[in-house]
Amino acid sequence: MANQAEDLKGQGTKPAASLTSLAARPAAKYVGFALLLAWHYALWFAPHVFTHTELLDERVTVSWLVNLGATVLFLFLIALALGRKRHLSSFCWLGHVTPVLMAAATLLLCVAPFSLTVPGVAYLLSFFLGAAEAVMWILWGERYACVKANFSIKHIGTVFGFTLLACVGLALVLPPVASAIFVALLPLASGGLLTLARRDGARSFPPLLPKNAAHGGFKSMVVVCGISFVASVAAYFLAAVIPWEELPTREVSFTFGIMGGAVLMLGIAGICIASKDKVNIFKLYPWLLVFEIVAFSLFMADGALYFPAFIMAVGISSIFEILLIMYFGILTSKGYNTPALAFSFSGGFVRAGIAVGNTLAVAYEHAPAVAQAVTPETCLAFICVLAALLIPLVRQEFSILALTAAPPSKAEVDEICIEVAKEFSLSAREREILELIARGYTTNTISVKLVISPYTVNTHIRHIYEKMQIHKRSELLNYINMQRSDF
């Protein structure tokens, strides 16, 4: 009987183990976060989700801007509150409660007759959804840091592309109420996959480089984020300033734009797979600015080209944040920043740019005489700005490659040993031993050089490990070398 009970128990755990194993696969680990992004785009871009209101109703537009603003605000506030030492995933209940509340608020916003009839209710729900989405963003970012995700474009690009295409497409074809229910279920699915992913037991975050050593990575992040913000402003200004009434698919054009972004993401992933080039992520980003310039040129050339210009603008704006996640995710895995900071920057700057671009276009819409006079000049100005931004963006490509792949010089290694000693309060002897380890000395050679016993050397090394929260010599050497390697 005991053996039978053990067999039954083993059979009961097999499905859970199989699911956990499936979730650990390189591509599958990105599905949960892809569902969170799909929720956002299906909610605000599928025409039938709001059962009592048209997608392009001004109240829906304002609700979306409130949602964007709340997401940006809470992404930065959470990252600031957590700092370098704390993690949002320490509050385990957030991963369970947040998706449930998101699903309920989504359903209420989309289906309840009073939600948009009383705009204040819609704005409040949209604000809450933005805050909740920010929480989920950072929880997923911390999960990826724990499992040391490499943010390979062939994995993340394929998963995000197919997930967005499938979810937004389903939201488009389903009947109104069914579409709203389907969209409300997406946060639950994302939260369920997050809970499943945590079963692997991975709780260790990449050790952070000392602040001074990580300064180069932070500077690159700020420059890339500034460029992405301006590019997002330009992309969504163009998308919103094009008269949707003149587009052949009318309000459904927004849905097609997002689906176009998904197809573009799949195309990028396909190019990377075909070329087998590990650094394509950095080389492809500038091309988005080039495509954006082309979209503006199409818009200014002829009204018959409004539709391709619109699809390109919406599609490009939808994949900026995905590429930034890959940019900064790699820096996070190397210890240059916390996952909370990386994901707040990747989402915050792009969504702030989208909000500003849409707001500028709405302002033009409310002053048609002024808009008619200055829209061509505004578009030309954006083209010039985007062209000028290509130069610093290409420079950052080489900067990030140097930060993540190029071997550090002897001077850099010496400098990081000094910074590590300050950051982790190492004693003079511990710092001396750390520098010798960095130069390739073994325990025995260190003991001979310092005229101390190997046992004493090992004691000091153990203290270094404890202070730096590192577990073995290979991890220490990787850290001292600023975790630079091919990725």
Question: Each residue of 147-195: pLDDT tens digit?
Answer: 888 787 888 889 999 999 999 999 999 998 999 999 999 999 999 999 9
Token pair of 205 as six digits: 């975050």
The angle, 0 to 180 degrees and rounded to 10, between the axes of the packed helices 280-301 and 368-404 is 170
Number of alpha helices (DSSP H) and beta strands (DSSP E) in the chain: 19, 0
DSSP 407: P
Least Cα distance to 138 among 77, 229, 200, 214 occurs for 77
Dist CA 67 CA 346 (whole Å): 16
Class in CATH terms, 27-404: mainly alpha
Dist CA 222 CA 230 (whole Å): 12
CA 57 to chain centre: 29
Cα dihedral sign, 307-309-314-316:
positive
Q: According to the model, what pLDDT value does residue 8 have?
A: 43
Q: Outline where 147-175 has alpha helix (H).
A: 153-173
Dist CA 50 CA 171 (whole Å): 11
Q: According to the model, what pLDDT value does residue 133 have?
A: 97
Dist CA 275 CA 68 (whole Å): 36
Q: According to the model, what pLDDT value does residue 403 have?
A: 57
Least Cα distance to 131 among 79, 184, 65, 70 occurs for 70
Dist CA 88 CA 135 (whole Å): 8
Give CATH 1.20.1250.20 domain extents, the chain: 27-404
Residue written as token pair 């369920």: 192
What 3-state DSSP class applies to 25? coil
Distances (CA, A) of 133 to 38, 129, 156: 12, 6, 19
Spans of the chain below 70 pLDDT: 1-27, 276-282, 397-409, 412, 481-487
Task: Please answer whether residues 262 and 314 qualify as being in contact, where contact means their C-beta atoms are separated by less than 8 angstroms.
Answer: no
Dist CA 44 CA 38 (whole Å): 10
Dist CA 436 CA 452 (whole Å): 14
DSSP 451: T
CA 230, 211, 84 angle in degrees (round to 5)?
A: 80
Neighbours of 415 (CB within 10 A): 16
Residue written as token pair 């067999």: 7
Burial class (CB in 10 A: 0-12, 13-18, 19+), 90: exposed
Q: Outline where 198-305 has alpha helix (H).
A: 215-241, 252-275, 280-301
Give CATH 1.10.10.10 domain extents, the chain: 410-480
What CATH code is assigned to 410-480?
1.10.10.10
Dist CA 86 CA 465 (whole Å): 20
